[in-house]
Amino acid sequence: QWHDASNVSKIVPYNPDNPLLNPVLTAIFQQAALKVVNGDEDLLPDAMVKNCSNAKHGDYQCQSAMPMFAAMKKSGNMPATIKSPKDVAQAIIDHLDPTHLAVIENISIQGPGFIVCSITKSYLQSHLIKWLASGVLPKPPIPQTFECVVDFSSPNIAKEMHVGHLRSTIIGEAVCRVLEFVGHHVHRTNHVGDWGTQFGMLIQYLKEEYPEVGQEADGGELPNITDLTVFYKNAKQRFDESAEFKKTAQTNVVALQSGDKECLKIWKMLCDVSRKEFQKVYNRLDVTLEEKGESFYNDKIPAVIQEFDQAGLVKIEEGGAKCVFVTGHSIPLMLQKSDGGYGYDSTDMAALKYRLQTLKAQRIIVITDFSQGGHFEMCYGAADEIGWLTSGQRLDHIGFGTVMGEDGKRFKTRSGDTVRLVDLLDEAVKRMEDSLRQRITDGKANITEAEVHEVAEAIGYGAVKYFDLRRNPTTNYKFSYDQMLDTKGNTAVYLLYARVRLESICAKAKADHGVDVEELLKAGEVPVLEHPSERNLAKELHLFAEVLETTLDDLFPYHICEYVYNVSIAASDFVTQCKVLGVPEMKSRLLLCHATMVAMRQCFDLLGIRHVKRI
Ligand code: ARG
C-alpha cells in the first residue's frame, strides 16, 4: 500500500491531450454533473466513469446518476424537475459542454440511469496521428519520477536456479521495464543468498576435495565445479554423516564471519562459480541485474538491532534470541538468533533500511514465491513501526504461485529432481527449432536453416515468458510446452506470427506497389478510420497508456499481455475485413498496420520478448 496517501480533490481538469481516456471522460461528465448539482462537489461520487465490459453497448459508461440522485435527496436540494436517477442522467446529458462532443458520441441512457457513450473516430484519429508522428506510444502522465528498488530473481549460491527463480526473474524484468519506460530509476537488485551457515559445509567440502584451491596468493584458478547441485548435495551428505565434518564446518562459519582470509577466498570462489552460471541464464533471457547479495548487508545488521533495541521494540525470547513482534503477526521477526548469528530476517531488515534511507527508494518491490508473503508483511510492518517510512513511499511484495507439471503436482523431472532452468529453456528452443525446420520443409518459411536457431531462441524464450506473464502472478499454473508453443492460442508464438504477418504486408506494399510506410509517415499521411474494424483497432491501440497506468499500480504485467492480445485480435479482424494492398485506402490502412506493429513491438519490449522480423 502507499504509505500515507494524501487527500486530493476529486475534480479532474479537462485535458483532451491526455492519453488516458478515463480522466478525459471523468472531466467531461463531472463538468456537466456539477452544473446539475449547482457546483456542490460533495454530491458527486468519487468514480464517474468506467469501461463498458461489452463493446456492443458502447465504450464508456457514466454511472453517477444513481448515487447523485441519492445524495441530492439526502441533501434536500432536489429540483422539482428531477424525479428519478433517469432524470439526473438526462440532466447531465443536457448540460454536456458542446465542445466535448468532439470526444464522445452516441450518448444514450440505459437501464435505471447509466449514460453510455462511445469515443469519436476523430478523437481516436487525432491521438493516433500524434503518436505515429512521434514514433512512440504515449506514456501515462506521472507526477514525478523516483528511485525504485526491484528485488528479483535472487537465487542462492551453490544451488541450481529452479523454476521458481524463473518466475521471479521473468516477472521482475517486466516490472523493471515498465517502471523504467515511464522514467523511474530502478535498482535492479539481485539479492542472492550468498551468506549463511551453509557456507561452513561448502567451504569444508571444497577444502577436502580441492586441496590445491585457495593456496595461491591470487586465489588461483576457479575449481571446475560444473554441477553445483551435485557439489552441494555431496557436501550436505558429508555434513549429515560425519560429526567431525560438521564441527569443522561450524568453525568455518565463525571464521568466515570474522573475516578469515582463507575462508573468504573460498567463499568468494564459490560465489564466482555460481555467478557465472546465473549470468548465462540472464544473458539468454535478456535480463539485467545488479548483484547486492545477503553478504552486503552483514555489517549493517548490528546498527539495525541497536536501533530497534533503543526504541524498546526488541524482546528477548527464550534462549536469548532478539525478536521484534509486529502488530497483527503471532510470530516475530528474529533480528538475532540465540547463538548470536544473523538470519534471513536480520538481513532483510538491514536491506530495507539501506534501500529506504541510503538509496532513498520511493518504491520497493520484492518478488518471491507467495510463501514469503508473511515475512515481507512483517518486515514492512516493522519498518513502519520504527519510523523508517516517510510520506509517499510504497512497499510491495509480489508473491507468485507454484509452477506445476502437467500432472498437477509440483514441477519435477521424471526422476523426481527439481527441473533445472537451463534444461527447461533448452527444451523450449529445441521444440521451436523442430517446428521451424518443419516449416522450411513445407515451403512455408521465410527463413533459412542458418537463421533457425536465432529465431527459435527468440520465440522459445518469448513463449516461456509470455506463458507466465499473461496470468495473474498469484495463480499457480501447469507448465506445458504444447500450450505455450501453440501457434493459435493466446501465446507469444501466435503474437509473434501475427506481427510478422503485418510486417510482410508492409514489405509487399513496398515491393509490389512501391509504397513505403516510412515515406508515408514522413509525408504526414494520416490514417482514416472509416470501417468499423478500423475504428475498433484504433480504440484498442488507444488503451495503451491506460494499461500501463494500471500495471504501474498493481505491478501485474498481464495487463500488457491482454492489451497486446486484444490489439492483435482487432488487427486480424481488420485485415480480414479490409483489403489493404492495391485499394484506394491502401495508404491509410498501411499506417494502421504500422501503428499496430509499433504497439506490439513496444509491448514485447516491455515484457522482455524479442521480436522477429521474419519467420
Ligand atoms: N534467495 C531467496 C530465495 O531463493 C529469495 C530472496 C528474495 N529477496 C529478499 N530480499 N529476501 O527464495
**What's the whole-number average pLDDT of the chain?**
93
Q: Which atom of ligand 1 is nearest to the CA of 376?
A: 11
Q: 414, exposed or middle or buried, with CB in 10 Å at 0-12, 13-18, 19+?
A: exposed
**7 pLDDT above the threshold of 90:** no
Take atom 3 of ligand 1 and give the residue whose Cα is closest: 155
- Residue 348 near ligand 1, beta carbon < 6 Å: yes
- Residue 154 near ligand 1, beta carbon < 6 Å: yes
Alpha-carbon distances of 522 from 516, 581, 586, rounded to whole Å: 10, 20, 16
CB neighbourhood size of 226 (10 A):
9
Average pLDDT over residues 276-292: 96
pLDDT of 330-349, one tens digit each? 999 999 999 888 999 999 99
- Residue 364 near ligand 1, beta carbon < 6 Å: no
Look at residue 407 in the predicted model and tell me its pLDDT: 86
Do residues 390 and 360 make contact, with C-beta atoms less than 8 angstroms apart? no
Average pLDDT over residues 443-460: 97
Alpha-carbon gap, residue 311 to 12, rounded angstroms: 43
**226 pLDDT above the threshold of 70:** no
The grid coordinates listed for 501 are 504477418
pLDDT of 349-408, one tens digit each? 999 999 999 999 999 999 999 999 999 999 999 999 999 999 889 999 999 999 998 888
With b meaning 16 or more CB within 10 Å and e meaning fewer, what string describes 463-489? Answer: bbbbbbbbbebeeebebebeebbeeee
Q: Which atom of ligand 1 is nearest to the CA of 193?
A: 1
Look at residue 95 in the predicted model and tell me its pLDDT: 98
150, 154, 157, 274: residue to mutate for ligand 1 pocket, most atoms within 8 A of CB: 154
Distance 91 CA to ligand 1 centre (A): 57
- Residue 355 near ligand 1, beta carbon < 6 Å: no
In 3D space, the residue among 291, 395, 409, 309 whose CA is nearest the CA of residue 353 turns out to be: 395
Distance 168 CA to ligand 1 centre (A): 10
Q: Which atom of ligand 1 is nearest to the CA of 351?
A: 10
Look at residue 105 in the predicted model and tell me its pLDDT: 96
In 3D space, the residue among 462, 470, 476, 407 whose CA is nearest the CA of residue 601 turns out to be: 462
* Confidence label for 54 from pLDDT (cuts 50, 70 and 90): confident
Do residues 406 and 479 make contact, with C-beta atoms less than 8 angstroms apart? yes
Take atom 4 of ligand 1 and give the residue whose Cα is closest: 155
Do residues 560 and 547 make contact, with C-beta atoms less than 8 angstroms apart? yes
* Confidence label for 477 from pLDDT (cuts 50, 70 and 90): very high
167, 365, 368, 395: residue to mutate for ligand 1 pocket, most atoms within 8 A of CB: 368
- Residue 368 near ligand 1, beta carbon < 6 Å: yes
**409 pLDDT above the threshold of 70:** yes
- Residue 223 near ligand 1, beta carbon < 6 Å: no
Q: Which atom of ligand 1 is nearest to the CA of 192?
A: 1
Distance 47 CA to ligand 1 centre (A): 38
Take atom 8 of ligand 1 and give the residue whose Cα is closest: 191
Q: Is 266 helix (H, G, I), strand (E, B) or coil?
A: helix
The grid coordinates listed for 515 are 509504397
Distance 372 CA to ligand 1 centre (A): 9
Alpha-carbon distances of 306 from 62, 236, 382, 415, rounded to whole Å: 55, 35, 14, 49
**219 pLDDT above the threshold of 60:** no
Q: Which atom of ligand 1 is nearest to the CA of 367?
A: 7
Distance 609 CA to ligand 1 centre (A): 25
pLDDT of 497-554, one tens digit each? 999 999 999 999 999 999 999 999 999 999 999 999 999 999 999 999 999 999 999 9
* Confidence label for 213 from pLDDT (cuts 50, 70 and 90): confident
**How far apart, in Å, do the first and last CA atoms of the chain sit?**
44
* Confidence label for 225 from pLDDT (cuts 50, 70 and 90): low
What's the pTM value of the predicted model, to 2 decimals? 0.94
- Residue 398 near ligand 1, beta carbon < 6 Å: no
Take atom 11 of ligand 1 and give the residue whose Cα is closest: 348
Distance 366 CA to ligand 1 centre (A): 8
pLDDT of 161-203, one tens digit each? 888 899 999 999 999 999 999 999 999 999 999 998 899 999 9
Take atom 6 of ligand 1 and give the residue whose Cα is closest: 154
The grid coordinates listed for 470 are 499473461
Alpha-carbon distances of 255 from 248, 251, 252, rounded to whole Å: 10, 6, 5
pLDDT of 121-156, one tens digit each? 999 999 999 999 999 999 999 999 999 999 999 999
Look at residue 4 in the predicted model and tell me its pLDDT: 46
* Confidence label for 318 from pLDDT (cuts 50, 70 and 90): confident
Give, for 536, the enclosing helix (H) or strand (E): helix 532-542
Q: Please tell me which residue, 76 or 287, carries the higher pLDDT value.
A: 287
Look at residue 223 in the predicted model and tell me its pLDDT: 65
Take atom 9 of ligand 1 and give the residue whose Cα is closest: 191
372, 396, 400, 418: residue to mutate for ligand 1 pocket, most atoms within 8 A of CB: 372
